[in-house]
Amino acid sequence: MDGEKQVIERTANYIRGQFEGEGSGHDWWHIHRVWKNSISIGEKEGGDMFVVQLGALLHDIDDFKLHGGDSSVGAREARKYLKSLGVNEDVVNHVCEIVGDISFKGAGEEKPMRTLEGRIVRDADRLDAMGAIGIARCFAYGGYKGTPIHLPDVKPKLHETTEEYITRQSSQINHFYEKLLLLKELMLTDTGKKMAEGRHRYMLEYLEQFDKEWDGEV
């Protein structure tokens, strides 16, 4: 196996080649931001940074939202890739656990992250769904899926199952209430919680302005 630095570099190059130009908001630059935020959080929280970086780089290798809800695809692909590099089996298992458990799957389906490394990567991923970037990604993904921007007669619903979260037809504005505004209270590290505060506040301000414009008040 190459050294840890070489494995990280090869993985970053591989993922960039796979995701550059992707149009759903799950592109290379999303992964890059999660990677860098994971490093920033990890530097303050601790943890095995080799596992953290691999988990961040591979966390969307086959996102379940893009594969009909099959949440096992990502971990399988991550395992295949890491084994091809000869990565230690314990590291492979840990990274695949992170990849398999990272995604938000509905308000009633929150799955605990067993390790500090997993909590770091999950926080970094969720931070990228918040704030100005989170707003941009919400509408990018909605456009990719053909979801209406706003349906004022369709009220938000907190999904109790993963199936309901994946299949229910809603709107992009409802997605804020069904997921994005819940993330601040789901952060798992002290560093992530602090970083989430401003991003959460910005989304509330955006929604307030959206409602005013929708109603013709401004």
From 163, 189, 194, select the one nearest 52 (Cα to Cα).
189
- Token pair of 49 as six digits: 């940074």
Residue 177 has pLDDT above 60, yes or no: yes
Neighbour tally for 8: CB within 10 Å = 18
- Token pair of 25 as six digits: 């908001």
Query: What band does 111 get if pLDDT is binned at 50, 70 and 90?
Result: confident
Query: What band does 212 get if pLDDT is binned at 50, 70 and 90?
Result: very high
Q: For the chain, state the CA radius of gyration.
A: 18
* Torsion sign across C-alpha atoms 26, 27, 31, 36: negative
From 188, 138, 146, select the one nearest 169 (Cα to Cα).
146
Question: What letters, b where the CB count within 10 A reaches 16 and e where it falls short, cover 165-191?
Answer: beeeebbbbbbbbbbbbbbbebbbbeb
Fold of 4-214: Hypothetical protein af1432 (1.10.3210)
From 117, 115, 134, 135, select the one nearest 126 (Cα to Cα).
134
Per mean pLDDT, which range of 26-35, 65-74, 126-135, 200-209 is the poorest? 65-74
Q: Domain ranges in the chain? A: 4-214
Q: What is the pLDDT of residues 46-96, one digit of tens each?
A: 999 999 999 999 999 976 444 455 557 889 999 999 999 999 999 999 999
To the nearest whole number, what is the mean pLDDT of the chain? 90
